[in-house]
Amino acid sequence: MSGAMSAASDVIIVGGGLMGSSAALFLRGHGISVTLLEADLIGRQASGTNFGNVRRQGRGIHQLPLANRAIAIWRRSRELLGADVEYLQSGHIRVCYRERPELVGSMEEYAAQARAEGLDLELLSGNALRDKFPFFGPDVLAGSYSPTDGHANPRLAAPAFARAAERLGAMIHENTKIVDAQKVGEDFIVTAADGRTFRAPTLLITAGAWGNALSSQFGEPVPIVPRGPNMSVTEPVPYAILPAVGVMTPIEEETVYFRQVARGNIVLGGSTRGPSFPDQYRAYVEPQNTLSQLKQIRRLAPSLGKLNIIRVWSGIEGYMPDSQPVMGPSATTSGLYYAFGFSGSGFQIGPGVGETMAEIIAKGGTDIPMGPYQIERFAAG
Amino acid sequence: MAEPRIIIVGAGPSGTRAAQACVAAGLRPIVIDEARRDGGQIYRRQPDNFTRPYAKLYGTEAGRAQVLHETFDGLKGAIDYRPETLVWNIAGGHVWTASGTVQKAMPFDALLLCTGATDRLMPVKGWQFAGAYSLGGAQVALKSQAVSIGHKVVLMGSGPLLYLVASQYVEAGADVAAVLDTSPFSARVKALPDLLAMPSVLWNGVALTRALKRAGVAVHLGVTPVEIMGDAESGVSGIRFRTGSGKEETVRCDAVAIGHHLRPETQLADLARCAFTFDAGTRQWLPERDGDGRSSVAGVYLAGDGAKILGARSAEASGRLAALAALADLGLPVDKGEMTSLRGDVANYAKFARGLARAFPWPSAQAAVLPDDAILCRCEGVTAGDLRGVMRETGAQEANRAKAFSRVGMGRCQGRYCGLAAAELIAAESGVPIEQVGRLRGQAPVKPLPIAIGDET
């Protein structure tokens, strides 16, 4: 399509991942008209290719109010979305290894702070863990069990939010790559590569790793780095592992995690992240990363060494230097909002981000603490 | 300059001839093959302690099989041969291999992918039951292990392999209950001008069908498969089909082999990031290559049925041609005249292959009418109705999108067996042209990879 067709709505959202799709749904709940623009297909990159942890534990304490808001949405996702996104509140365990006994103290401290935010964690010794979850290897020293965390299917989640938003009247345009955004008078005018333009007084950028290309147009560049997560999946085996499992460690290579889906396949993730190619909308899993991931998985759960992986995949995630997203209003331009750069940990909080951004746009504020996410922290000088 | 590092993947007809050309140029190529012995699929060798003669194993192709095997045996001292080794990924100028649980990354200057083919399968209701094989699988059982897939066997589908496997089963003394060919006789008549490009091969085919008739095997042309009867407990019990005149019939059997000619094994070309284009004649996505076998990626060459289904004889010629192209690109002297002559051979085989595709058409319309309760993706147990339901709910009209939402093609074969039929179903259901449905993106590992994999200790 070409020409200067100009479509008007109250809000334009650029980026159809989980953040943008859920924001569209909740904005419709406030009765606000929404146009959601996605360069590729809904939920194809970070939102669709991540591990699928619906995990609160391990997040910064300041992020727990947002995570708590999100968990309430995950729990009613089936009714809200009219679709099954395979959400299971089947627990999450974070473990540390014998080489790092000091992490047990960190786990205890975290658990005490988390309890004040409404997240109850149970600390278990390695042997107690192995009694309960016999797949853990001898290197596991201790663990923190969060019974109310769990997992969901990333391939299904963002598209289900977008379909629900569409049913409530959101206008969704896929294959619509935005090349220019500017504020002209009271309105933002957003132009697609094929020349179509969209107009609205409010603009929300939820473009993930591509967010900087748009924030820069408003004088707010951010040091975002695109990277690809490293995922694998095994052949299906009888369903026996309920909680999602991950390693707490300062060493990137050791940070592996796994979960079993009800169908029986075990999804493996983590270890070193790979390069990605935002211009091509592709990220590749480097073979050496797969090998280091499998080695670390054998250490965490030696019995998984008897299985085969049948597929690997990656996607494009946007990482910020402090691992905190850019979220909230622009510092330069009124009516402009951001929610991107979730640094590989946006899936669980995604629906909470959407609800919070919709609240900020509809009501002018929120009780959720937003300080750590302000874009001004990257302002030059 | 150090000796150029050439890696050949596959030790079938094209890989063997490629290796021979490299050795003749004074190089020592690495030849990596998944199988225990060389020969590929069509010239698959029996285990060492088996003693069936060539004529018994390969019929009309015995002479070619023997020459190819002897050629490979003669090369063994001059190549770095790595059997029982899977290339599970290609990245960063290396092939990544797994031999059991031992991994190795090998750099290359030129990579020749001679990866061969598998059966092209059209799902039939009941094809997940024990006792349902592909035609290629049925042939492997016979050639490698000297066993039949059942006591009473039906062979169903279309393509030259249908008749070859049938005659090999009859010759071996198996009870072939029926040969059910989905292609009508009229298609063969229309294909005759192209098939005459290789009169001797055409004659072999005619002789096979006559031999089946002489043996008293019922051969039905122009059939429509309805159902592989049976149950999960006891497996296949029979075949229900409609004859060319529309009458429904049943054949009792305890095993069936199905297939509609072949499809190239292109996943490694995909992982090597070769460009693909849609081939309207075969309704398949094929890796692009020039007339000599150069892919769109410098240093990566494609030959044999792994690039396009042109048959075993063509594979020998295109394997040699691609190797000569690689040697020329590496600056080594090659016989330009021979390359010209090989190009002519390949063009002639291509004409014949076009005739085969016409004579034994892929019954794409069957995917559209696959009943909702029929399994479409066997790895993930997804039915045709499941996929249709997902399409209705989500609007997915692209192969990878439909895979993400429905799991079709997400299992251990990564859609190598159901992907073509799934694409036809998506196209028919959505009214989108098949080429717009796209192709499933390949992902490593191309075959299951043990989590126990690691470096050699």
Which domains does chain B show, CATH number per domain?
6-118+263-356 (3.50.50.60), 121-260 (3.50.50.60), 365-437 (1.10.10.1100)
Residues of B in contact with A309 (CB under 8 A): 445, 448-449, 451
DSSP state of B332: -
Nearest-CA distance from B408 to chain A in Å?
Answer: 13
In a domain, A292, yes or no: yes
Give the integer Cα–Cα distance in Å for B212 and A258: 55
In a domain, A357, yes or no: yes
Give the integer Cα–Cα distance in Å for A139 and A21: 41
Residues of A in contact with B416 (CB under 8 A): none
Inform me whether the C-beta atom of residue A155 falls under 8 Å from chain B C-beta atoms.
Answer: yes
Same domain, A287 and A346: no
Task: Count how many domains chain A has.
Answer: 2
Asked which of A279, A296, A314 is the last residue of a domain, the reply is: A314
Pairing between β-strand B235-242 and β-strand B248-252 as defined by DSSP bridges? antiparallel
Residues of A in contact with B102 (CB under 8 A): none
In a domain, A248, yes or no: yes
Residues of B in contact with A295 (CB under 8 A): 454
8 Å CB contact of A312 and B454? no
8 Å CB contact of A311 and B394? no
Inform me whether the C-beta atom of residue B406 falls under 8 Å from chain A C-beta atoms.
Answer: no
Asked which of A296, A314, A332 is the last residue of a domain, the reply is: A314
Angle at B304 between CA B270 and CA B376, to 5 degrees: 55
Inform me whether the C-beta atom of residue A286 falls under 8 Å from chain B C-beta atoms.
Answer: yes
Find the closest chain B residue to A299 by CA distance. Answer: B452
Same domain, A136 and A248: yes
For residues B406-429, average pLDDT: 95
In a domain, A59, yes or no: no
Q: Nearest Cα to A95, choosing from A160, A37, A139, A43?
A: A139
For residues A344-372, average pLDDT: 97
Q: What percent of chain A has pLDDT over 70?
A: 98
Residue given tokens 């490694």 in the structure block:
B268
In a domain, A66, yes or no: no
Find the closest chain A residue to B403 by CA distance. Answer: A155
Please report the number of interchain residue pairs, chain A to chain B, with beta-carbon separation below 8 angstroms.
77
Same domain, A200 and A333: yes
Angle at A349 between CA A343 and CA A353, to 5 degrees: 95
Same domain, A202 and A349: yes
| CA distances from residue A132 to A89, A261, A268, B353 in whole angstroms, order as listed | 17, 19, 21, 61
Residues of B in contact with A293 (CB under 8 A): none
DSSP state letters, B57-98 = HHGGGHHHHHHHHHHHHHHGGGSEEE-S-EEEEEETTEEEEE
Same domain, A237 and A354: no
pLDDT higher than threshold 80 for residue A2: no
Find the closest chain B residue to A164 by CA distance. Answer: B394
Same domain, A246 and A140: yes
Nearest-CA distance from A153 to chain B in Å?
Answer: 10
8 Å CB contact of A48 and B404? yes
8 Å CB contact of A308 and B411? no
For residues B241-267, average pLDDT: 96
Q: What is the CA radius of gyration of chain B?
A: 22
Inform me whether the C-beta atom of residue B389 falls under 8 Å from chain A C-beta atoms.
Answer: no
Pairing between β-strand B219-220 and β-strand B175-181 as defined by DSSP bridges? parallel
Q: What is the CATH number of the domain that holds A108?
A: 3.30.9.10
Same domain, A169 and A303: no
Nearest-CA distance from B252 to chain A in Å?
Answer: 33
What would the pLDDT profile of B140-186 be if each residue is shown by its tens digit? 999 888 999 999 999 999 999 999 999 999 988 999 999 999 999 89
Amino acid at site B321:
L
In a domain, A279, yes or no: yes
What would the pLDDT profile of A282-315 be if each residue is shown by its tens digit? 899 999 999 999 999 999 999 999 999 999 999 9
- Report pLDDT for B209: 87
In a domain, A73, yes or no: no
Residues of B in contact with A50 (CB under 8 A): none
For residues B425-444, average pLDDT: 95
Find the closest chain B residue to A166 by CA distance. Answer: B394
Cis geometry, peptide bond prior to residue B445 (ω within 30 degrees of 0)? yes
Residues of A in contact with B407 (CB under 8 A): 263
- Report pLDDT for B198: 86
For residues A221-243, average pLDDT: 96
Amino acid at site B314:
S
Name the pLDDT band for A1 (thresholds 50, 70, 90).
Answer: very low
Residues of B in contact with A297 (CB under 8 A): 451
Q: How many helices and strands in chain A, by DSSP H and E?
A: 10, 24
Interface of A with B in 195-234 (CB under 8 A): 234
Give the integer Cα–Cα distance in Å for B272 and B93: 9
Same domain, A233 and A141: yes
Contact B155, B223 (CB under 8 A): no
Q: Which of A310, A312, A313, A314 to mutate to test the interface with B (most CBs of B within 10 A)?
A: A310
Asked which of A260, A284, A314 is the last residue of a domain, the reply is: A314
Q: How many CA atoms lie within 13 A of A74 on its CB side?
A: 32
Same domain, A165 and A291: no
Amino acid at site A137:
G
8 Å CB contact of A312 and B444? yes
- Report pLDDT for B1: 58
Q: Which of A230, A294, A303 to mutate to test the interface with B (most CBs of B within 10 A)?
A: A294
Give the integer Cα–Cα distance in Å for A295 and A137: 13
Q: Which of B268, B273, B378, B451 to mutate to test the interface with A (most CBs of A within 10 A)?
A: B451
Pairing between β-strand A187-192 and β-strand A197-200 as defined by DSSP bridges? antiparallel
Give the integer Cα–Cα distance in Å for A317 and A279: 13
8 Å CB contact of B451 and A235? no
8 Å CB contact of A159 and B454? no
8 Å CB contact of A297 and B105? no
Task: Print the domain residue range for A363.
Answer: 6-49+155-223+321-378
Interface of A with B in 82-121 (CB under 8 A): 83
Same domain, A205 and A333: yes
Same domain, A276 and A351: no
Q: What is the CATH number of the domain that holds A27?
A: 3.50.50.60
Nearest-CA distance from A64 to chain B in Å?
Answer: 30
pLDDT higher than threshold 90 for residue B200: no
8 Å CB contact of A310 and B448? yes
Give the integer Cα–Cα distance in Å for B239 and B155: 10
Q: Nearest Cα to B379, choosing from B417, B337, B412?
A: B412
Q: What percent of chain B has pLDDT over 70?
A: 100
Give the integer Cα–Cα distance in Å for B45 and B456: 29
Which tokens hold the place of B6? 């050439």
Q: Given B92, B105, B405, which is nearest A155 (Cβ)?
A: B405
Supply the ipTM of this predicted assembly: 0.94
- Report pLDDT for B188: 87
What would the pLDDT profile of A129-156 be if each residue is shown by its tens digit? 999 999 999 999 999 999 999 999 999 9
Same domain, A117 and A140: yes
Coil, helix or strand at residue A150: strand
Q: Given B88, B401, B414, which is nearest A41 (Cβ)?
A: B401
Residue given tokens 């079709």 in the structure block:
B408
For residues A50-76, average pLDDT: 97
Inform me whether the C-beta atom of residue B417 falls under 8 Å from chain A C-beta atoms.
Answer: no
Coil, helix or strand at residue B428: helix
Coil, helix or strand at residue B331: coil
Residues of B in contact with A305 (CB under 8 A): 450-452
Nearest-CA distance from A21 to chain B in Å?
Answer: 14
DSSP state letters, B246-272 = S-EEEEE-SEEEEEESEEE--HHHHHT
pLDDT higher than threshold 70 for residue A381: no
Q: What percent of chain A has pLDDT over 90?
A: 94
In a domain, A189, yes or no: yes
Per the prediction, chain B carries an average pLDDT of: 95
DSSP state letters, A211-277 = HHHHHGGGT-----EEEB--EEEEPP--S---SEEEE--S-GGG-EEEEE-TTS-EEEEESS-B-EE
Name the pLDDT band for B457 (thresholds 50, 70, 90).
Answer: low
| CA distances from residue A292 to A286, B401, B438 in whole angstroms, order as listed | 10, 29, 33
Contact A318, A211 (CB under 8 A): yes
pLDDT higher than threshold 50 for residue B95: yes
pLDDT higher than threshold 50 for residue A3: no
Residues B265-288 as b or e (16 or more Cβ within 10 Å = b): bbbbbbbbebebebeeebbbbbbe
Contacts (Cβ under 8 Å, ≥6 apart) of A28: A34, A165, A168, A169, A170
